[in-house]
Amino acid sequence: MNIVLLNILNAISYGAILFLLASGFSLIFGVMGVLNLSHGALYVVGAYMGWTTAVAHGISFWLGALAGGLVAGLISLIMEAGFFRRLYKQLNEQMLLTFGFVYILDNLSRWIWGPSYRAPFTSPALSGSFTILGSPYPAVRIAIILIGIVIAVGLWWLQDKTRAGAMIRAGMDDKETAVALGINLPLVATVAFFVGSFLAGFAGVIGAGVTGVYPEMSMSVMLLVLAVIIIGGVGSVQGTLVGAGILGAIDAFGKALFPDYAMFTVYLAMIIVLLVKPSGILGRQV
């Protein structure tokens, strides 16, 4: 296969994982105003949960993905009901709280699943490869791309074409007016938090096919989320798509061109975007 096409496919598949992750984070931030620094940890927990279901117990991979998402969502509910609600409107404190949760989640993951690296795993149906233009390409990555597209379309449709999406966007833009219009913001917030965290856990299982899992991942994952947000802008599906796409491309081509320093191209991109358009390429004016 043409090396460029290979890298493009790698970029899109990696970008798809980032998109799933970052859209959850963006949703949570947009509606609740909270920077959920434990989002990366939720990815990791979801991935581990998926591993336990699919690999350790041999149950369906897709159930594992669901389980991963649900566990992450459940954790978010605990965080929200038990802690965030008591710190109503104190956004800095809520962010710091998520930091504390990173310690807890990281260590719990280590405790339950041990410190070793889990090799990339995926559904048995996807462990082969498809032949594209005469060369084999991992099926799992194709699946990731397809899932990413489906969810991207779904989220976009939700955001722009449904009442629920309108309520969420209203909550993001002007909380007071939204409440005045009778929108139940606390409920919207809880739902958004759950959905966003579910996406993180789900992304963890799906993405594990490419990244594998290990306990120290949470902060590196978090960094990627932040990179997507900084580059693409927060608050819209389109922004997250742009950010994830660019980051996927940087990662794929970076790894191909300078394998040891691929990470730094990410930072470079972030800094450039920051200096040129501080709220991200498609970001709403902060």
Partner 1 sequence: MGREPASSEKQGLLKVIRLAPQFLILLFLIFLIPLEPTYIQSLATKILIFAIFAMSLDLIIGYAGIMSLGHAAFFGAAGYGAGILAVRFSIDNIWLGLASGILLATFIAAVFGIIALQAKGIYSILITFALGQLLYSLATKWRSVTNGDYGLWGVPLPALGLSGFEWNGTYYYYFVFLAFLVCYLCLYRLVKSPFGKSLQGIREGESRMRALGYNTWLFKYVAFVIAGMFAGVAGVLFAYHSGIITPGDLAVMNSGFVMLMVIAGGIGTIYGAAIGAALIITIQYYAGILTADRWPLILGGVFVLTIMYARAGVGVYFYSLWKRALVRWKF
Distance CA 91, CA 34 (A): 6
Residue placing its CB nearer to partner 1 in the complex, 80 or 106: 106
State the DSSP code for 120.
Answer: P
Among 5, 93, 117, 187, binds partner 1 (CB under 8 A): 93
x/- map, 170-209, partner 1, by CB under 8 A: ----------------------------------------
CB contact at 8 A, 121 and 54: yes
Read off the amino acid at residue 226: L
Minimum Å distance from CB 91 to partner 1?
A: 9
What is the gyration radius of the CA atoms in the chain, in angstroms? 18
Binding span for partner 1 by CB under 8 A among 61-69, 97-105, 125-133, 144-152:
97-105
Among 83, 120, 253, 256, binds partner 1 (CB under 8 A): 83
Residue placing its CB nearer to partner 1 in the complex, 84 or 121: 84
Question: How many residues does the structure list for the chain?
Answer: 286
CB contact at 8 A, 3 and 256: yes
CB contact at 8 A, 9 and 20: no
* Residue 27 token pair: 């949703």
Q: Which parts of this chain interact with partner 1 (CB under 8 A)? A: 29, 35, 37, 83, 86-87, 92-93, 95-97, 99-108, 110-111, 219-220, 222-223, 226-227, 229-230, 234, 260-261, 263-264, 267, 270-271, 274-275, 278-280, 286
